[in-house]
Amino acid sequence: MISRRQLRIKALQSLYAYYTTGREDMRRSEKELHFNIEKAFELYHYLLLLMIDVILYAESRIEIARNKRIPTHEDLHPNTRFINNRLAGQLRNNEQLLRFVEQHKLNWVNHPELIKEVYTRLIESDEYEAYMNADEHGYAEDKRLVTFIYTHIIFSSERLDSIMEEQSIYWNDDLEFITSMIVKTFKKFKEEDGPDKLLMDLYKNSEDKEYVVNLYRQTILHREEYVEYIKQNTRNWDLDRIAFMDILIMQIALAELVAFPSIPTKVTLNEYLEISKFYSTSKSSVFINGVLDKVLMQLKEEKKIIKRGRGLIGEND
Helix boundaries (H) for the chain? 4-20, 26-66, 73-76, 86-93, 95-103, 112-123, 126-133, 139-148, 158-167, 175-188, 206-221, 223-232, 244-259, 265-279, 284-301
Using CA atoms, how far apart are residues 309 and 311, in angstroms rounded to an integer?
Answer: 6
Per-residue pLDDT tens digits for 179-204 = 999 999 999 999 999 999 999 999 99
Does the pTM surpass 0.85? The reply is yes
CA–CA distances in Å: residue 51 to residues 30, 81, 102, 190: 33, 15, 16, 18
Strand partners, 2: 203
* Nearest residue to 198 (alpha-carbon basis) of 188, 207, 208, 183: 188
Q: Is it the case that residue 310 has pLDDT exceeding 70?
A: no
At 138 the pLDDT is 94
Using CA atoms, how far apart are residues 34 and 26, in angstroms rounded to an integer?
Answer: 12
What sign for the dihedral angle of Cα 125, 126, 132, 138? negative
Q: Is it the case that residue 311 has pLDDT exceeding 80?
A: no
Residue 203's φ and ψ, nearest 5 degrees, are -110, 145
At 312 the pLDDT is 64
Per-residue pLDDT tens digits for 282-307 = 889 999 999 999 999 999 999 999 88
The amino acid sitting at 119 is Y
Average pLDDT, the chain: 93
Cβ(33)–Cβ(10) under 8 Å? yes
The CATH 1.10.940.10 domain(s) of the chain lie at 222-301
Cβ(106)–Cβ(90) under 8 Å? no
CA–CA distances in Å: residue 158 to residues 25, 153, 161, 293: 36, 10, 5, 40
Using CA atoms, how far apart are residues 81 and 73, in angstroms rounded to an integer?
Answer: 17
At 317 the pLDDT is 59
222-301: what fold? N-utilizing Substance Protein B Homolog; Chain A (1.10.940)
pLDDT average, residue stretch 211-239: 91
Q: Is it the case that residue 112 has pLDDT exceeding 60?
A: yes
* Nearest residue to 54 (alpha-carbon basis) of 124, 111, 131: 111
Helix 206-221 with 26-66: angle, nearest 10 deg: 130
Query: Is 240 or 119 the better-scoring residue by pLDDT?
Result: 119
Length of the chain: 317
What Rg, from alpha-carbon coordinates, does the chain have?
24
At 120 the pLDDT is 98
Question: Quick one: DSSP state of residue 203?
Answer: B
At 300 the pLDDT is 93
CA–CA distances in Å: residue 197 to residues 193, 248, 292: 6, 41, 45
